[in-house]
């Protein structure tokens, strides 16, 4: 492992979610891939509102303007298509690895090169103690996100996934195609792109799983077995930050 590896990191901050970006970036500079060449790709409808955060040497940030879709489900799901396109157009030349992260998040401890692998997914902190039957996969066979009751290993959270650029490219391309096919059939999977991500990972197994230490949710009381929280979803007022109920 050399320090010259470039790690693309996609972050969407559309509409009111722009308010989360400053804290995300400040805490990322303290804990995320410290010492590595991180390239943040910020996708936003308000480029002028991107906060100025001092980056460590060798790290850079670029901003791409994206439309604000009217429903949060669409803002969230269309990330697959936008990431796929960005990889095709330029990221494939600019990075070795790519990690796609939610913005309503904060780093608290090291999230370092131990997460690098071919295809990486994070176990959803609500489901790590649960049985497969309780996973909230899409269960309607008509959907391209369908997972039968006897399939699936873990329920993954869509707020963080990544890996080698070419492997993440295949994932985003497949999820995008399946999201579009569902839409053409008037279907929206139970948890939008998270359902499609989960379906993809049932049949294309991730090569590394991140434990809930790497993907916590601040609404859950920290259990005693969880010694360290490294990255967590902050508590947000969904009705207030989202475009639609």
Ligand X SMILES: CC(=O)N[C@H]1[C@@H](OP(=O)(O)OP(=O)(O)OC[C@H]2O[C@@H](n3ccc(=O)[nH]c3=O)[C@H](O)[C@@H]2O)O[C@H](CO)[C@H](O)[C@@H]1O
- List, by residue number, the catalytic residues: 194
Distances (CA, A) of 214 to 108, 115, 146, 156: 10, 9, 27, 12
Please report whether residue 194 would count as binding Mn ion according to CB under 5 A.
Answer: no
Q: Which of residues 17-36 bind ligand X (CB under 6 A)?
A: 17
8 A C-beta contact, residue 95 and residue 216: no
Please report whether residue 102 would count as binding Mn ion according to CB under 5 A.
Answer: yes
8 A C-beta contact, residue 99 and residue 118: no
Please report whether residue 104 would count as binding Mn ion according to CB under 5 A.
Answer: yes
List the one residue from 83, 115, 159, 175 that touches ligand X (CB under 6 A): 159
- Strand pairing partners for 122? 210
Ligand-binding annotation for 217, yes or no, is yes
d(CA 204, CA 86): 22
Cβ distance to ligand X smaller for residue 143 or 192: 192
Q: Which of residues 38-77 bind ligand X (CB under 6 A)?
A: 72-73, 75-76
Across the beta sheet with 231-233, the strand order is 105-107, 231-233, 216-217
Ligand-binding annotation for 13, yes or no, is yes
List the one residue from 191, 214, 216, 231 that touches ligand X (CB under 6 A): 191
**Region near ligand X per CB under 6 A, out of 46-54, 90-98, 100-108, 201-209:** 100-108
Give the list of residues 6+ apart from residue 40 with CB closer than 8 angstroms, or none.
9, 11, 25, 28, 55, 59, 60, 61, 62
Please report whether residue 107 would count as binding ligand X according to CB under 6 A.
Answer: no
Please report whether residue 139 would count as binding ligand X according to CB under 6 A.
Answer: no
Ligand-binding annotation for 131, yes or no, is no
Residues near Mn ion (CB under 5 A) are 102, 104, 159
């Amino acid at each position: 492992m050399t320090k010259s590896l470039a790690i693309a990191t996609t972050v969407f901050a559309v509409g009111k979610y722009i308010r989360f970006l400053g804290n995300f970036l400040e805490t990322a500079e303290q804990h995320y891939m410290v010492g590595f060449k991180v390239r943040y790709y910020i996708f936003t409808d308000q480029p002028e509102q991107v906060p100025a955060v001092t980056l460590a040497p060798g790290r850079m940030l670029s901003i791409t303007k994206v439309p604000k879709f009217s429903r949060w489900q669409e803002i969230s799901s269309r990330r697959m298509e936008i990431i796929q396109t960005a990889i095709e157009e330029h990221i494939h030349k600019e990075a070795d690895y790519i990690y796609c992260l939610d913005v309503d998040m904060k780093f608290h401890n090291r999230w370092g090169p131990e997460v690098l692998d071919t295809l990486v997914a994070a176990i959803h902190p609500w489901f790590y103690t649960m049985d497969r039957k309780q996973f909230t996969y899409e269960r309607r066979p008509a959907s391209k996100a369908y997972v039968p009751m006897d399939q699936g290993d873990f329920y993954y959270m869509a707020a963080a996934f990544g890996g080698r650029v070419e492997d993440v490219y295949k994932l985003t391309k497949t999820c995008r195609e399946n999201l579009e096919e569902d839409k053409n059939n008037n279907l929206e999977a139970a948890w939008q792109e998270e359902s499609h991500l989960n379906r993809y990972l049932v049949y294309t197994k991730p090569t590394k799983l991140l434990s809930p230490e790497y993907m916590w949710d601040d609404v859950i009381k920290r259990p005693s077995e969880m010694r360290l929280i490294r990255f967590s979803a902050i508590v947000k007022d969904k009705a207030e930050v989202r475009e639609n109920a």
